[in-house]
Structure 1
């Protein structure tokens, strides 16, 4: 009878346990979605819907001077996209952006790494103070940082030209000479490298010390240890910073607007691509064409990011092998 009793109870108990586990899993899923809902709402409201709306506007001739209503604009099909191929200002503004990027990306990789190596040095006194000082400019608003740099780079009273004058070098007109405007903005971009420095610092501190000790026993000097141990071990972080720096460089806008104004002064040398489609949207009020320009930038950045992941990761070392 005991065996029969167990046989009759087992089919009854097993579904009950499964149902209980299923209810617990469903309850956890509901609470997880509840706590994630603010992020989903933000993503939908501030990213996905604006992208969809921008795509919609790119097929219209909507002007920002009119109220958005279906009677205030016409659908123009692909005419805005066809206009891209006949607009010479696109190539000019993209050339300015690429010129800035070619300088900003190497600076954004090397300078934060040097600061991270300094802070990570065992011979540095009070490294926490230096870490704070290097990161502090990051929390300062861009507008305030630009105002400070306008004083620093002033051709008459700026301390950089004053320092050059001590050595008998006549400093350039940083903000009024078209040849020096982009290098000046590249110097300005170093204002907020504290984030990259902290990322590098975390990577440096994660490198096993046993590797350095073994290399030292084998007779490797500091330079060889840096290039054959440090660089390979932090290469994933370097690759991440490359991607981040390229994206940020193509989105460079606020400082360019504050330094060069809406006309990209001096003489259009700071007319970045973002500034160009900003002018189309808010100076000429051509929201349809500005939306097309914004989508073009989105496609360009996506292609560059894809190429970086496709070809750049070949030189990245991971603990489990090369990517």
Structure 2
């Protein structure tokens, strides 16, 4: 038995246990990647409590978690339900909605930078033809995060496929029984479909929440491309006006732009603890959430 567990134990130790312990140690040091780490105790954690940029990163990540995740889940589930009811060309619809997920994140982010260009982008051009003055999108602090959410919602094909498989797996007998009781489409969706796909909803919610807390690539690409490229310095991150300064972006900025690797390690450890706590609470409360949603007791 021990021999069968050895591959898992080795992988866990090498790829999770040791990096985690090393991160804990580095969070107690001053380290710039070039010289040896110097032990400073809890100085990094004390600075974390005083860092005004940390509040900005937490607020932006909380926005993506509390607003972005529900919107993406609702959109993906709605598309899955509609596609499951398609009598014709169902395979075509699945392909069309899933293809954006195959797009590399960097290419997709740059594509949306072009599409949402406030001066010459096709979206604002079309809006201008119908008499609508389009927003500045990524260049406006008030529109930057909604623009990123629009990009993420366009790429939600993976969740759509997962939801679609769950919806198609609901036994038809349950729908027939609901129809005999006089239930319409909305009542069948509320009292049959949602309870039946509850485990999939929980899985999608937890994984999406973790992805939101680790949100980095799209924000980094958009900010650096609009602010002058990746060589424009640390101040390009978070453009415009720190509206895209998510927590992982702040972590990257401290570690690889300012070379404060000790402080970045403290931020990484904080992110790990918060992600674990949120996932744990969501799993613990998922049954109660779904019971309240469907009216079951």
1:86 is matched with which residue: 25, 40, 50? 50
Where does residue 128 of structure 1 map in the other structure? 91
Aligned pairs for 1:93-242 (under 5 A) are 93-123=57-87, 125-242=88-205
Where does residue 233 of structure 2 map in the other structure? none
Structure 1 unpaired stretches of 5+: 1-25, 67-71
Deviation at 1:301, TM superposition (A): 1.2
1:292 is matched with which residue: 262, 266, 290? 266
Cα 1:162/1:103, change in 2 over 3 Å:
farther
Report which stretch shifted further, 154-163 or 208-217: 154-163
Large movers: runs of 4+ above 6 Å: none
> Which structure has the larger Rg over C-alpha atoms?
1
Distance in 2 of aligned mates of 1:161 and 1:190 = 19
Distance in 2 of aligned mates of 1:299 and 1:271 = 20
Deviation at 1:226, TM superposition (A): 1.1
Give TM-score, length-normalised by structure 1.
Answer: 0.81
Deviation at 1:40, TM superposition (A): 5.1
Asked if 2 retains the 8 angstrom alpha-carbon contact of 1:84 and 1:90, the reply is yes
Q: Which has the higher contact order (CA 8 A, sep 6+)?
A: 2
1:74 is matched with which residue: 18, 38, 47? 38
Deviation at 1:294, TM superposition (A): 0.6
Distance in 1 of aligned mates of 2:84 and 2:289 = 25
Secondary structure of 2:241 counterpart: coil
Give TM-score, length-normalised by structure 2.
Answer: 0.88
Asked if 2 retains the 8 angstrom alpha-carbon contact of 1:96 and 1:271, the reply is yes
Distance in 1 of aligned mates of 2:170 and 2:183 = 17
Aligned pairs for 1:1-20 (under 5 A) are none
Secondary structure of 1:85 counterpart: helix
Secondary structure of 2:133 counterpart: coil
Q: How many residues align?
A: 282
Distance in 1 of aligned mates of 2:221 and 2:34 = 24
Asked if 2 retains the 8 angstrom alpha-carbon contact of 1:153 and 1:175, the reply is yes
